[in-house]
Amino acid sequence: MKRENKIKSSLFYDKHLFLFYMKKNILSVKFAICFIFLFIPIFQTLSELEYIIYLGNANIRIQSELDEVIFWQRFIGIYSRYLTLIPVILTADIVSGEFSNKSAMIIYATESRYKILTIKLLCVIFSLLILVLFYFSAFLIVIFIKTELLISINIFMTGFLFIFVELILYSSLTFLISALTRNIAISFIFPFFYLITQGFLEEFELGLFSINSYLFRVLEFFENLFFYERIDLNAVTFFCLVIFFGASILIMLITFYTFNQLDIRID
């Protein structure tokens, strides 16, 4: 009986802690900034769509044109690159913020580090899910108003999954930096610097260290699958798929393990 009460008490505490961090995330200035970022790709896609309609391109009414050009190549492949800033903004202070305001010792002394990090990570994932749901819903509504057409469901869901997994991947990387450095300035600056220099890594034949090189290969794989009905699955593509869908889990496990080994005493 006592054990059941203890479990219920623990679950009650975890639930309220999750709701506390979730509310703190959604009502924060950084969440509002991320929300604003969502409109940049939508407006860019809308302006291009209006330009094509203005030119009298009747092909825009064709479903395949809408799926491939407007949604996959433009909205997912090009304009959504702006969204990579969102996980950095949301996650940079997830751990380092508490060391900056000197509250870390109180937080991590009351509960296990694994539990606190898990709750924080779930809050970030749910925050990203809310943003991505709004992002795709707004795009779908705008496209329907302009063209009276909807994106094919399989292509739409794959695009949704692609963007969501991509944001989690960048978020997990930022999460790792935030937990290991425990410095809020480094947690912001390093991921931003990495996002800017990814292109240079590919130019110097260091694409193995560039997330973009994996993303574009995965994007190309699904493009060939959906629009050309060709399964181009070689060793390199398979490796990129594994990295794209599995790297986040590996990074999170490394973060949990290494943070648990750190001395978190604050001077």
266 is a domain residue: no
Q: For residue 59, what pLDDT band results from cuts at 50, 70 and 90?
A: very low
240 is a domain residue: yes
Region 155-179: mean pLDDT is 94
Region 27-44: mean pLDDT is 89
Instruction: Count the domains in the chain.
Output: 1
Q: What is the pLDDT of residue 254?
A: 93
267 is a domain residue: no
Model confidence pTM above 0.85: yes
Q: How far, in Å, CA of 61 to CA of 163, rounded?
A: 25
97 is a domain residue: yes
Q: Could you list the residue range(s) of the whole structural domain that residue 243 is in? A: 2-261
60 is a domain residue: yes
**Stronger pLDDT, 12 or 223, i.e. the higher one:** 223
221 is a domain residue: yes
